Amino acid sequence: MSKTCVLILENLRSVENTGSIFRTAEGLGVSKIILVGTTPAPMDRFGRKRSDFAKVSLGAEDIVEWEWIAPENFQFLISNLQKDGFKIISLELDPKAKNLRSYEANKLERFALVVGNEVDGVSKEILEVSDEIVEIPMQGKKESLNVSVSTGIALFMLN
């Protein structure tokens, strides 16, 4: 049985990071990407393809299903995913976070991975309703990685 993964990008700021995440997500079998708030979309507000996005995603936006939602609908989305049997996993530095390296991902069948922007991370409201919070253990002096790199690592480990 293959896993079903939805990827949720909360208020990312960089077109390059978002495009890179699309490319990685497609390669790792994500079924849908949900863009929340300020996260750049593959299309501009006039419905035209963004060349800056496509340059990084290499067309992944045409392969992976995606949608944008307003921040005020985010909690409703999470609730609906949970009702549909998805485990909500947030990737965040948090006292309650579990080490991603030792997380038992083999038990996951349907999950949604939530990642936030590099300044604020995943919002506290979403962390509170997440089923799990995971973090990537760091060995150097930096406490975190670039969001596109972190997302790729987490998707690989959870799939």
pLDDT in tens, 44-97: 889 999 999 999 999 999 999 999 999 999 999 999 999 999 999 999 999 999
**The predicted structure's pLDDT at residue 66:** 97
**The predicted structure's pLDDT at residue 117:** 92
**The predicted structure's pLDDT at residue 63:** 96
Q: Please give the Cα distance from 101 to 109 (Å, whole number).
A: 18
Q: What percent of the chain has pLDDT over 70?
A: 99
**The predicted structure's pLDDT at residue 101:** 93
Does pLDDT of 18 surpass 50?
yes
- The CA angle 7-10-11, to the nearest 5 degrees, is 140
Q: What are 71-84's pLDDT values in tens digits? A: 999 999 999 999 99
> Greatest CA span in the chain, whole angstroms?
44
**The predicted structure's pLDDT at residue 1:** 43
Q: Is the pLDDT higher at 105 or at 130?
A: 130
Cβ contact 18:39 at 8 Å? yes
Say if pTM beats, i.e. exceeds, 0.85.
yes
Q: Token pair for residue 151?
A: 């997302």
The mean pLDDT value of the chain amounts to 95
**The predicted structure's pLDDT at residue 21:** 98
Which residues, other chains included, contact 96 with Cβ-Cβ below 8 Å and sequence gap of 6+?
127, 133
**The predicted structure's pLDDT at residue 144:** 84
**The predicted structure's pLDDT at residue 141:** 85
